[in-house]
Amino acid sequence: MKPVIIDNDNFEQEVLNFDGTVLCDFWAAWCGPCMMLAPTVEKFARNNPDIKVAKIDVDKCGELAAKYGIMSIPTLMVFKGGEVVNTSVGVISEDDISELVK
């Protein structure tokens, strides 16, 4: 499944109200490590269609980044039942992402 692009208007519906696991990738276009992680996140999304993957551009969604205390990017945040259950900062492998969402 292709990652869903999140903005301030659809975050609640796509992430908080989703009945399942959501992996949120907080990123920015100017962030080198974010660009390194992006193909891994996209591959994870393709290989795990049961998990919703959401991309959140911190430059366009500064309010969301502030709300969730994003201080460094890339940050991956796992939501279940509208609650954050796990977080990772920096570039990680697909195997590490799989462990993160368990």
Our answer to whether residue 61 is catalytic in this structure is no
- Which CATH number does 4-101 carry? 3.40.30.10
Whole-angstrom distance, CA of residue 96 vs CA of residue 21? 16
**pLDDT at residue 15 tops 90:** yes
Q: Tell me what pLDDT residue 6 has.
A: 95
- Per-domain residue ranges for the chain? 4-101
**Orientation angle between helical segments 94-101 and 32-47, nearest 10 degrees:** 70
Enter the DSSP assignment of 62: H
Instruction: Note whether 44 and 94 are within 8 A (CB).
Output: yes
Confidence of residue 4 (pLDDT cuts 50, 70, 90): very high
| 33: Cβ contacts below 8 Å, ≥ 6 apart | 73, 74, 90, 91
Q: Tell me what pLDDT residue 1 has.
A: 76
What residue ranges in the chain does DSSP mark as E strands? 4-6, 21-27, 52-57, 75-80, 83-89
Our answer to whether residue 24 is catalytic in this structure is no
**Which of the residues 22, 31, 37, 58 is marked catalytic?**
31
**pLDDT at residue 67 tops 90:** yes
Q: What does pTM read for this prediction?
A: 0.95
Average pLDDT value over all residues in the chain: 96
**Which of the residues 6, 22, 34, 58 is marked catalytic?**
34
